[in-house]
Amino acid sequence: MKAIAYFSYGGPEVMVLADVPVPVLPPRHGLVKIQAASINPVDWKLRSGQLKLITGRKFPRIMGADLAGTLVELRGDGNGLKAGDAVCGFAYPADPPGSLAEYCAVPLDRLAPVPAGLTLLEAAALPLVGVTAHTALFKLGQLKSGQSILVNGAAGGVGHVAVQMARGAGATVTATCRTGAMEFVKGLGANVVIDYGAQDILASSVLFDTILDTSGRLPFRKARRIMKPNGVFLDPDLKFQNIPFGLVGKRYRPVMADVRRAGIETLSTMVAAGTLKPVVGEVFDLSEALAAITAVEQGRSVVGKTVIKI
């Protein structure tokens, strides 16, 4: 099968469009014929070797984790899933099989039915960013109606989902983004949209109950000046220099998402209620994936998610 693979850790240059074997199906896994897979920063963090103490040195490895497609075979209890179902889910990235391939072996507890009303492209854009945003806002941030939240970097994957979730929960949302994405973010429902190139959010006179920094560019030590006394700073980027702040207080909270079926089904409920809609910003064929991943990794701005059609 065709896949975007790498045979050693490194930069974008180690990725190739390769012919690799269809994965052998382990126990408690399902074999998915992939039709769409989305790109996330964790993909190139893994490829670079930042997490090699966890992932080890088993190669080749296949890029990608988010996926949507058709379940063609099961080895274990699918909890209602059966061959032929349209599914979306998350190929756990500590294992070599990835989603930027024609087939992927996925743990059955990380697969769920495609949410009603979503295309496969949209479904592939949802699992990681959706569970990350939900974990941050509601499990770690305890966001409630009437509270104020700053979503820093609101046009990207986690950001555009978080704005919708926060508005759906009744929070007042201030969002930052680049100039060209301001109308897009307004359309997501943000109450206030700030062009981060023209206005320094740290000069804000508004104090926030919650700050979600999806961009990784807002230092916690500076952000404290615009947080309420009991406010929390949510960090999906897991900047290790900030970890001590989390150990000595409750204001800094690193966000680690565990994408499983229950979490995806929670997102499906939001989709059904009309409070959440993943946005596919760009679509590429698998043959174009190398250039697409490299461009996003190197900073090309995209609203929503970049999705690879397979």
Contact (Cβ atoms closer than 8 angstroms) between residue 91 and residue 67: yes
DSSP string, 225-251: GGEEEEEEEEETT--GGGHHHHHH-SS
Closest CA to 191 of 205, 177, 174, 210: 174
Q: What pLDDT score was predicted for residue 242?
A: 60
Rounded to an integer, the average pLDDT of 53-59 is 83
Contact between residue 5 and residue 15 where contact means Cβ atoms under 8 Å apart: yes
Distance, CA of 152 to CA of 155 (rounded, Å): 9
Q: Is pLDDT larger for residue 288 or for residue 53? A: 288
Q: What's the rounded mean pLDDT across residues 243-254?
A: 70
DSSP 13: G
Asked whether the predicted pLDDT for residue 250 surpasses 80, the reply is no
pTM here? 0.95
| Phi, psi of 21, deg, nearest 5 | -65, 150
For residue 243, the model assigns a pLDDT of 61
Tokens standing for 126?
């949802």
User: What gap in Å lies between CA 22 and CA 3, rounded to an integer?
Assistant: 10
Q: Where are the beta strands (DSSP E) in 236-303?
A: 252-254, 280-285
Q: Does residue 124 surpass a pLDDT of 80?
A: yes
216-6-289-238 Cα dihedral, nearest 10 degrees: -10
What residue ranges define each of the domains in the chain, with the CATH number in brackets? 2-126+278-309 (3.90.180.10), 128-254 (3.40.50.720)
Which are the contacts of 27, defined by CB distance < 8 A and separation ≥ 6?
75, 76
CA 9 to chain centre: 22
Adjacent-strand bridge partners of 232: 210
Q: How many residues does the chain have?
A: 310
pLDDT in tens, 143-202: 999 999 999 999 999 999 999 999 999 999 999 999 999 999 999 999 999 999 999 999
* Two tokens, residue 2: 């065709």
